Amino acid sequence: MKILYNESLKKYTTVRIGGTASKLYIPQTEEELMKLLDSIDSKEYYIIGGGSNLLINDEKIFENVISMKEFNKSIENKGEGVYYIGASNKLQKIINKINEDGFGGIEYLYSVPGLIGGAVAMNAGRGKPHGVSISDYIVDVTVYINGEIKTIKKEQCRFGYRNSIFRENPNYIILGCTFKFEYKSKEESEQLKNARIQLCKDVQDKSGYNFGSVFKINDWKVMWLVRKISISNKNGIHFSKKTPNWIINKGEGTFRQATKLIKRVEIMHKMIGKKAIPEVIIWE
Ligand SMILES: Cc1cc2nc3c(=O)[nH]c(=O)nc-3n(C[C@H](O)[C@H](O)[C@H](O)COP(=O)(O)OP(=O)(O)OC[C@H]3O[C@@H](n4cnc5c(N)ncnc54)[C@H](O)[C@@H]3O)c2cc1C
């Protein structure tokens, strides 16, 4: 197992903000992971997948961080659209593989820069009005819970909008997942992926680093107002002009700048009796 000492977490996140991991563990097998979890005294650890939904405090040192990027990259085709997929697979690789076999259903995640473990923890999907998410195709999830490896049926995973039992229990570690995808012709899946790529070109701000949507519940009028009244920080953190609900880091952004903006949005929602619930996971 690779262990990196005093490793900056910045480069492990898509927003390029992060503190230091005293020890960053990169397990490559189940045995390595189990041994590691047995040995961590405090039982306190942080899990990082693709780092595309994380905002990490850049003034803090985190003792034990486990990166799942090298853990299990296998995709087992069990027939009839059923697959067991290791937690470290990138979404694009999975979508291409199942499409090649004539299956699909999650092409709308083709643009998402996460790993499948993170996507399941977050129940990644399209925006709320579309009502579709990765859990639509989940059969069960194999997970490390307090010293044991268990397989949890989808019904027990408490999937909700960008929520799951895994998000509620940060010590649970997703090792892999069984899916049953739907039949999809190669023509249709190609078309869906191309449409997704085009949509992202049209609506997503690529001018800096980001973690996708900041809030999973918010009022667009309040968001618009906050953007208007916030002084634009050209080299640091600012709300995107192109993509509502996105914060952009031009390269010099800090955790403080980002959390200040997030707090401002929350306060303004509170003032008019509305709710703002962050989607991004914040390591304070
Ligand atoms: C450009 C861009 C576009 C995006 N578009 C979308 C979109 O369309 N839809 C959408 O839903 N999201 C979107 N996101 C947000 C993000 O990509 C997704 O939430 C993604 O699924 C997170 O996966 P990850 O591997 O990067 O997770 P991370 O960011 O690494 O982690 C997210 C959370 O999951 C936990 N976690 C990670 N791996 C595991 C594991 N193996 N076991 C247990 N817990 C784990 C982490 O501890 C953390 O709490 C976007 C982000 C970006 C930057």
Return the best residue to mutate from 28, 30, 46, 52 for the ligand 1 pocket (most ligand atoms within 8 A of CB). 52
pLDDT tens readout for residues 127-159? 999 999 999 999 999 999 988 999 999 999 999
- Say how many Å lie between the CA of residue 164 and the centre of ligand 1: 12
- Residue pair 205/256 in contact by the 8 Å Cβ criterion: no
- Say how many Å lie between the CA of residue 140 and the centre of ligand 1: 19
Residues with CB under 6 A from ligand 1: 14, 47-54, 68, 87, 111-115, 117-119, 121-122, 124-125, 166, 170, 172-174, 210-212, 281
pLDDT tens readout for residues 52-64? 999 999 999 999 9
**Rounded distance between C-alpha atoms, residue 204 and residue 241, angstroms:** 10
Could you please state the CATH topology (level 3) that the domain comprising 75-202 is classified under: 3.30.465
- Say how many Å lie between the CA of residue 111 and the centre of ligand 1: 12
**Rounded distance between C-alpha atoms, residue 17 and residue 9, angstroms:** 7
- The domain ranges of the chain are 2-67, 75-202, 215-283
Flag whether pLDDT at 42 surpasses 70. Answer: no
pLDDT tens readout for residues 178-193? 999 999 999 999 999 9
- Say how many Å lie between the CA of residue 272 and the centre of ligand 1: 30
pLDDT tens readout for residues 5-38? 999 999 999 999 999 999 999 999 999 999 999 8
Which atom number of ligand 1 is nearest to the Cα of residue 120? 21
pLDDT at 227: 83
Which atom number of ligand 1 is nearest to the Cα of residue 71? 41
pLDDT tens readout for residues 66-101? 999 999 999 999 999 999 999 999 999 999 999 999
Give this prediction's pTM. Answer: 0.97
Return the best residue to mutate from 73, 122, 142, 201 for the ligand 1 pocket (most ligand atoms within 8 A of CB). 122
Whose CA is closest to atom 27 on ligand 1?
Answer: 118
Flag whether pLDDT at 126 surpasses 80. Answer: yes
Which atom number of ligand 1 is nearest to the Cα of residue 121? 34
Whose CA is closest to atom 35 on ligand 1?
Answer: 118
Three state DSSP letters for the chain: CEEEEEEECHHHCCCCCCCEEEEEEECCCHHHHHHHHHHCCCCCCEEECCCCCEEECCCCEEEEEEECCCCCCCEEEEECCEEEEECCCEHHHHHHHHHHCCEECCHHHCCCCCEHHHHHHHCCECCHHHCCEHHHHEEEEEEEECCEEEEEEHHHCCCECCECHHHHCCCCEEEEEEEECEECCHHHHHHHHHHHHHHHHHHCCCCCECCCECEEECCHHHHHHHHHHCCCCCCCEEECCCCCCEEEECCCCCHHHHHHHHHHHHHHHHHCCCCCEECCEEEC
Flag whether pLDDT at 249 surpasses 80. Answer: yes
- Say how many Å lie between the CA of residue 234 and the centre of ligand 1: 26
- Residue pair 212/170 in contact by the 8 Å Cβ criterion: no
Return the best residue to mutate from 112, 145, 169 for the ligand 1 pocket (most ligand atoms within 8 A of CB). 112
Flag whether pLDDT at 233 surpasses 90. Answer: no
- Average pLDDT over the chain, rounded to an integer: 95
Could you please state the CATH topology (level 3) that the domain comprising 2-67 is classified under: 3.30.43
Which atom number of ligand 1 is nearest to the Cα of residue 68? 41
